[in-house]
Amino acid sequence: MFPLNIRTLAAVAALTASVAALAMGGRPKGDDEAANSRIAPVARVEMAAASVGAAAGARSGEQIYKGACAACHDAGVANAPKLGDKGAWAPRLALGLDGLLKSAIVGKNAMPPKGGSDASDTELARAIVYLANKSGGSLKEAAAK
Protein backbone atom coordinates (compact mmCIF):
# COMPACT_ATOMS: atom_id res chain seq x y z
CA MET A 1 0.00 0.00 0.00
CA PHE A 2 2.95 2.33 0.62
CA PRO A 3 5.34 1.66 -2.22
CA LEU A 4 7.43 4.75 -1.44
CA ASN A 5 9.42 5.21 1.73
CA ILE A 6 11.03 8.39 2.94
CA ARG A 7 14.48 7.36 1.75
CA THR A 8 13.14 6.83 -1.76
CA LEU A 9 11.43 10.20 -1.57
CA ALA A 10 14.61 11.90 -0.44
CA ALA A 11 16.59 10.26 -3.24
CA VAL A 12 14.04 11.28 -5.84
CA ALA A 13 13.90 14.79 -4.40
CA ALA A 14 17.70 15.12 -4.44
CA LEU A 15 17.81 13.87 -8.02
CA THR A 16 15.06 16.26 -9.05
CA ALA A 17 16.89 19.09 -7.35
CA SER A 18 20.18 18.25 -9.07
CA VAL A 19 18.52 18.10 -12.47
CA ALA A 20 16.82 21.41 -11.76
CA ALA A 21 20.12 22.94 -10.64
CA LEU A 22 21.78 21.77 -13.86
CA ALA A 23 18.94 23.15 -15.91
CA MET A 24 19.48 26.49 -14.24
CA GLY A 25 22.91 26.71 -15.79
CA GLY A 26 25.19 24.27 -13.96
CA ARG A 27 26.37 26.60 -11.26
CA PRO A 28 29.34 25.79 -8.99
CA LYS A 29 29.05 23.03 -6.39
CA GLY A 30 28.32 25.26 -3.41
CA ASP A 31 25.26 26.62 -5.13
CA ASP A 32 23.95 23.13 -5.87
CA GLU A 33 23.59 22.47 -2.19
CA ALA A 34 21.66 25.66 -1.65
CA ALA A 35 19.44 24.83 -4.61
CA ASN A 36 18.88 21.33 -3.23
CA SER A 37 17.61 22.63 0.05
CA ARG A 38 15.34 25.13 -1.67
CA ILE A 39 13.83 22.67 -4.10
CA ALA A 40 13.80 19.39 -2.18
CA PRO A 41 10.91 20.18 0.20
CA VAL A 42 8.55 20.87 -2.67
CA ALA A 43 9.56 17.72 -4.53
CA ARG A 44 9.12 15.70 -1.37
CA VAL A 45 5.70 17.10 -0.62
CA GLU A 46 4.41 16.18 -4.05
CA MET A 47 5.66 12.63 -3.57
CA ALA A 48 4.49 12.45 0.04
CA ALA A 49 1.00 13.63 -0.81
CA ALA A 50 0.75 10.89 -3.41
CA SER A 51 1.79 8.22 -0.93
CA VAL A 52 -0.95 8.69 1.67
CA GLY A 53 -2.96 5.60 0.84
CA ALA A 54 -5.89 4.30 2.94
CA ALA A 55 -9.46 5.53 2.79
CA ALA A 56 -9.70 9.29 3.09
CA GLY A 57 -11.19 10.45 6.37
CA ALA A 58 -10.41 7.28 8.32
CA ARG A 59 -6.67 7.57 8.67
CA SER A 60 -4.94 7.88 12.03
CA GLY A 61 -2.73 10.77 13.03
CA GLU A 62 0.29 8.50 12.76
CA GLN A 63 -0.66 7.38 9.25
CA ILE A 64 -1.11 10.95 8.06
CA TYR A 65 2.07 12.06 9.81
CA LYS A 66 4.22 9.32 8.30
CA GLY A 67 2.71 9.70 4.86
CA ALA A 68 2.57 13.46 4.57
CA CYS A 69 4.34 15.31 7.37
CA ALA A 70 7.45 13.28 8.24
CA ALA A 71 9.19 14.35 5.02
CA CYS A 72 9.68 17.79 6.59
CA HIS A 73 9.00 17.38 10.30
CA ASP A 74 11.33 14.39 10.91
CA ALA A 75 14.48 16.16 9.75
CA GLY A 76 13.46 19.80 10.08
CA VAL A 77 13.40 20.45 6.33
CA ALA A 78 12.93 24.16 5.55
CA ASN A 79 13.15 24.84 9.31
CA ALA A 80 10.07 22.81 10.09
CA PRO A 81 9.83 22.26 13.87
CA LYS A 82 11.07 18.68 14.34
CA LEU A 83 9.11 15.84 15.88
CA GLY A 84 10.37 15.54 19.47
CA ASP A 85 11.96 19.00 19.60
CA LYS A 86 10.26 20.34 22.70
CA GLY A 87 12.00 23.69 22.51
CA ALA A 88 10.78 24.32 18.98
CA TRP A 89 7.25 23.23 19.82
CA ALA A 90 6.72 24.96 23.17
CA PRO A 91 5.77 28.38 21.75
CA ARG A 92 3.61 26.77 19.08
CA LEU A 93 1.78 24.57 21.56
CA ALA A 94 0.59 27.76 23.21
CA LEU A 95 -1.69 28.22 20.17
CA GLY A 96 -3.66 25.14 21.20
CA LEU A 97 -5.05 22.56 18.80
CA ASP A 98 -7.48 25.06 17.25
CA GLY A 99 -4.73 27.58 16.52
CA LEU A 100 -2.34 24.96 15.16
CA LEU A 101 -5.06 23.42 13.03
CA LYS A 102 -5.92 26.81 11.58
CA SER A 103 -2.35 27.48 10.50
CA ALA A 104 -1.89 23.92 9.22
CA ILE A 105 -5.03 24.20 7.07
CA VAL A 106 -3.94 27.39 5.33
CA GLY A 107 -0.20 26.72 5.55
CA LYS A 108 2.50 28.82 7.13
CA ASN A 109 5.58 30.19 5.35
CA ALA A 110 7.44 27.16 3.88
CA MET A 111 4.65 24.81 4.96
CA PRO A 112 2.07 24.37 2.20
CA PRO A 113 -1.67 24.17 3.04
CA LYS A 114 -2.35 20.87 4.86
CA GLY A 115 1.35 20.06 4.42
CA GLY A 116 0.49 19.26 0.80
CA SER A 117 -1.65 16.30 1.86
CA ASP A 118 -5.23 15.30 1.04
CA ALA A 119 -6.05 14.93 4.74
CA SER A 120 -9.51 15.94 5.93
CA ASP A 121 -9.58 18.55 8.71
CA THR A 122 -10.20 15.76 11.23
CA GLU A 123 -7.26 13.75 9.94
CA LEU A 124 -5.09 16.84 9.96
CA ALA A 125 -6.05 17.49 13.57
CA ARG A 126 -5.11 13.89 14.44
CA ALA A 127 -1.73 14.32 12.75
CA ILE A 128 -1.12 17.53 14.70
CA VAL A 129 -2.02 15.82 17.97
CA TYR A 130 0.37 12.97 17.09
CA LEU A 131 3.19 15.37 16.21
CA ALA A 132 2.64 17.77 19.10
CA ASN A 133 2.29 15.09 21.75
CA LYS A 134 5.58 13.52 20.70
CA SER A 135 7.10 16.96 21.13
CA GLY A 136 6.14 17.87 24.68
CA GLY A 137 2.46 18.62 24.11
CA SER A 138 -0.63 17.13 25.70
CA LEU A 139 -3.25 18.02 23.12
CA LYS A 140 -6.51 16.12 23.02
CA GLU A 141 -8.34 15.19 19.86
CA ALA A 142 -11.71 16.88 19.83
CA ALA A 143 -14.43 14.31 19.18
CA ALA A 144 -12.84 11.62 17.07
CA LYS A 145 -10.75 8.87 18.60
96: left (phi over 0), alpha (psi -120 to 50) or beta: left
For ligand HEC, the closer CB: 109 or 138: 109
Give whole-number Cα distances, 117 to 44, 63, 69, 90, in Å.
11, 12, 8, 24
What does the alpha-carbon distance between residue 99 and residue 23 come to, in Å, rounded to a whole number? 40
Residue 83 interacts with ligand HEC (CB under 6 A)?
A: no
| Contacting ligand HEC within 25-54 (CB under 6 A) | 41, 45, 48
- Cβ-based neighbour number of residue 12 at 10 Å: 16
Contacting ligand HEC (CB under 6 A), which of 13, 40, 47, 104?
A: 104
Q: Site size for ligand HEC, by CB under 6 A?
A: 33
What does the alpha-carbon distance between residue 83 and residue 70 come to, in Å, rounded to a whole number? 8
Residue 110 interacts with ligand HEC (CB under 6 A)?
A: yes
Residue 78 interacts with ligand HEC (CB under 6 A)?
A: yes
Contacting ligand HEC (CB under 6 A), which of 40, 68, 129, 139?
A: 68
The residue type found at 93 is: L
Please report, as ranges, the residues that interact with ligand HEC according to CB under 6 A: 41, 45, 48, 64, 68-69, 71-73, 77-81, 92, 95, 100, 103-104, 108-112, 114-117, 119, 124, 127-128, 131
